[in-house]
Amino acid sequence: MPAVSKGDGMRGLAVFISDIRNCKSKEAEIKRINKELANIRSKFKGDKALDGYSKKKYVCKLLFIFLLGHDIDFGHMEAVNLLSSNRYTEKQIGYLFISVLVNSNSELIRLINNAIKNDLASRNPTFMGLALHCIANVGSREMAEAFAGEIPKILVAGDTMDSVKQSAALCLLRLYRASPDLVPMGDWTSRVVHLLNDQHLGVVTAATSLITTLAQKNPEEFKTSVSLAVSRLSRIVTSASTDLQDYTYYFVPAPWLSVKLLRLLQCYPPPDPAVRGRLTECLETILNKAQEPPKSKKVQHSNAKNAVLFEAISLIIHHDSEPNLLVRACNQLGQFLQHRETNLRYLALESMCTLASSEFSHEAVKTHIDTVINALKTERDVSVRQRAVDLLYAMCDRSNAQQIVAEMLSYLETADYSIREEIVLKVAILAEKYAVDYTWYVDTILNLIRIAGDYVSEEVWYRVIQIVINRDDVQGYAAKTVFEALQAPACHENLVKVGGYILGEFGNLIAGDPRSSPLIQFNLLHSKFHLCSVPTRALLLSTYIKFVNLFPEVKTTIQDVLRSDSQLKNADVELQQRAVEYLRLSTVASTDILATVLEEMPPFPERESSILAKLKKKKGPSTVTDLEEAKRERSADVNGGPEPAPASASAASTPSPSADLLGLGAAPPAPTGPPPSAGGLLVDVFSDSASAVAPLAPGSEDNFARFVCKNNGVLFENQLLQIGLKSEFRQNLGRMFIFYGNKTSTQFLNFTPTLICADDLQANLNLQTKPVDPTVDGGAQVQQVVNIECVSDFTEAPVLNIQFRYGGTFQNVSVKLPITLNKFFQPTEMASQDFFQRWKQLSNPQQEVQNIFKAKHPMDTEITKAKIIGFGSALLEEVDPNPANFVGAGIIHTKTTQIGCLLRLEPNLQAQMYRLTLRTSKDTVSQRLCDLLSEQF
């Protein structure tokens, strides 16, 4: 910056500011300002021409007056004239005044633009910097129209100074954020990427910010930045703190540039193997440095070091492809859970929520359950406690569900009011999703209503009723439990609703006990009647009329209640109408008619859980980033079904068989459109004449192999489209949710996903899909549900073909859908004696398949266990005489038969090899399972 000359102190401005500060009242200040404005106006209108110094001084005073909150309606032209000065201080004040006071509609904008253009063309770095700062500060659409084409040229010009390149990159970033449609992509895009190799780290930092933002909307244009970013990151993380002295912050080399490079890499899927190896080394180095003792005790050092670490962990989670890195990241975060710094504990909990979604790190996350539960009980910051609740929800599975639900219920009694509703929803979802014994589910939900009844939404108690109606085995227990719960002196109204509905349907199952006779049930419910709101009273009246059908002995008592003036002449029309109609029905209808009209409610049909839908709604609208959220919520939507209406007389219908609540057993909808062709087209969702199917996308086989041992994650990703999966299997049935995410800002038109099966696969695997919207908005996602039935064992996998139009260009993508035979595995626990007895029974040569192969991944015991469990079999401990070996057992369920499977995996650490042996009752199954599992190690 040029030196300030002696006359640039502007003593008159200092005196004016001092006068303003010395004013004793607002009136005195206004008087002094008006006097100064009159003086400035007279100077500007005077016959004597003002020199540059005087103009600068008076423009400065006007700027100060404006910043005090007073309107300024003159002086703009003088400020524009200052832009023509060759003195730095005068030009600086002119640009400052324009940046603050001139709007985009000003008549002077053309003069201002001309002055800026002159400065940009001057090649004077100081003047160019002032002009670029002004453009960025104003940032209007008019500025973008005038200079968006010029600034990229300055940025990539070979003779531009480093300080100007920095300003140009940040100025272009500002214009792109304000008016992305006005910044043209062109030849400069390939050249700006090479700024990542610039020797000046300030230029690299500014360029990385620009490229990251541009790559989010135009990934194809900047894909070459990945290798350059990895190369630059590698040089930074392997350098000593003395190598980059100007950019070392408290012994951490270039931390902010490292963070920006890691964020840039998160715009793209994992790179090619050669680049991936170098990136993995970088990430391992960052994780290793986190374990080193701190080089300084100052908080700035730990902040910079942890900023890089957390961004590296975000990249590891984004790629979700390196099991070792995921487990190491989890262990590192686990150390932060007990850190004395609150922010670190918060960030660790937040990152572990995402890690819990990975099949590779889920088990590692679960090891910290006690620490997370302790945080829930002892943390003073409510935001940290909320993250602890989120992490417990994310790490929950069948093995720890009862412990986590119990802890969340315990915390709910003292939880902050702001998060109680969300905890209630999560407890309800977990209790339903992982309920092996549905009596536990009923107890949990009733306890939930008791503890936090005011926060139990209609969706929750609707859901209890739906599940009880759909499961014959729990109906009697539910009736008994709610009857006992209603005997408490004070019951929440939601409990009365659940009790009224369930006793109205299934009160006859407990009526044989003298302690819960029909009259006692009725008196118990009616004792709550006068304390309830109108909707609950209406539900109880429906329960009473159902009692008339179930228990003729209380008919007279109930008719007396319905006949009372408080019902027949009730001020509420709904209650009055119900009382009149139910009384008349009980009087004139015969026993057969009454039994038909008031028969038991049929099971509810399949639909998305309303509780889960409510939780998703609380988390915000669906976007492409919801694919990450889908990865956090490890499992598919829980037991589906619509909410029941409040109990009322049901229309005559025949109850259907007990429904499978996951909807897996529901008959799939009849397919519409033309039948499958002989070529093997199973379902063509929208198009009646599809284009030729594209060959499998690059990397499709690798992604397919990753899903053999996991059910959720990103199946495919390119610059336009992201495909995510969530799936759930039970016995021979499955349901898969496919998420199609539009990563661009442009609509996808004629969006047509199609499932393709070979002829022999169609005979062994039934797939039915629900159609998706043919238009996918920019930045949005659509979901498709696939219902799956395994008829017999199979070898091949179906192909998912997606065709759509993007910007007038036809796109055609094909990927293998990871529906494999092991998905229909049901784990079987066995004692050692039972295992070897069964092993000997499967001793025919055709029943055994063995494969000896070289390890493709590091031979880690915990990861191997996780993969065997993810494969579907039970992992049997203490069965094999050699503790280093892994033994598993399970049953493959198909519609036609069940196939028992035993496996044994013997690792040889010295030779880095495995021997895998599989024995099943069917030779083709043994071979297929062996092929699938061998690829995982």
Q: Indicate the annotated binding residues.
A: 11-12, 43, 53, 57-61
- In 3D, which of 330, 338, 322, 201 has the Cα closest to residue 271? 322
For 727, the 3-state DSSP assignment is strand
Residue 531: which residues within 8 A CB-CB, separation 6 or more? 493
Compute the half-sphere exposure of residue 739: CA atoms within 13 Å on the CB side of its CA: 26
**Structural contact between residues 437 and 475, judged by C-beta atoms closer than 8 angstroms:** no
Tell me how far apart the alpha carbons of residues 499 and 521 are, in angstroms, rounded to a whole number: 10
Residue 420: which residues within 8 A CB-CB, separation 6 or more? 412, 452, 455
DSSP string, 253-296: ESHHHHHHHHHHHTTS----HHHHHHHHHHHHHHHHHHHSPPS-
DSSP string, 864-931: HHHHHHHHTSEE-TT-SSSTTSEEEEEEEE-SS-EEEEEEEEEEETTTTEEEEEEEESSHHHHHHHHH
Tell me how far apart the alpha carbons of residues 770 and 754 are, in angstroms, rounded to a whole number: 11
The encoded tokens of residue 266 equal: 């998160």
- In 3D, which of 417, 649, 643, 449 has the Cα closest to residue 546? 649
Residue 43: which residues within 8 A CB-CB, separation 6 or more? 50, 54, 58
Tell me how far apart the alpha carbons of residues 633 and 647 are, in angstroms, rounded to a whole number: 32
For 34, the 3-state DSSP assignment is helix
According to DSSP, the β-strands at 733-742 and 781-790 are antiparallel
Helix or strand run (H / E) with residue 735: strand 733-742
Alpha helices in 413-517, H assignment, sequence order: 417-433, 438-452, 458-470, 472-486, 493-506
DSSP string, 189-238: HHHHHGGGG-S-HHHHHHHHHHHHHHHHH-GGGGTTHHHHHHHHHHHHHT
* Burial class for 436, CB neighbours closer than 10 Å (0-12, 13-18, 19+): exposed
Tell me how far apart the alpha carbons of residues 4 and 1 are, in angstroms, rounded to a whole number: 9
Residue positions counted in the chain: 937
**Structural contact between residues 540 and 525, judged by C-beta atoms closer than 8 angstroms:** yes
According to DSSP, the β-strands at 721-730 and 809-816 are unpaired
Residue 824: which residues within 8 A CB-CB, separation 6 or more? 729, 731, 732, 734, 790, 872, 892, 893, 894
Helix or strand run (H / E) with residue 332: helix 323-336
Residue 621: which residues within 8 A CB-CB, separation 6 or more? none
Tell me how far apart the alpha carbons of residues 104 and 226 are, in angstroms, rounded to a whole number: 38
Amino acid in the structure at residue 430: L
Tell me how far apart the alpha carbons of residues 151 and 143 are, in angstroms, rounded to a whole number: 11
- In 3D, which of 156, 259, 243 has the Cα closest to residue 208? 259
User: For the range 46-54, what are the long-range contacts, defined as Cβ-Cβ under 8 Å and sequence gap of 24 or more?
Assistant: 50/78, 52/82, 52/85, 52/87, 52/90, 53/7, 53/8, 53/10, 53/90
**Structural contact between residues 317 and 394, judged by C-beta atoms closer than 8 angstroms:** no
Helix or strand run (H / E) with residue 101: helix 88-101
Tell me how far apart the alpha carbons of residues 502 and 470 are, in angstroms, rounded to a whole number: 12
> Given the structure tokens 């490292």, which residue do they identify?
258
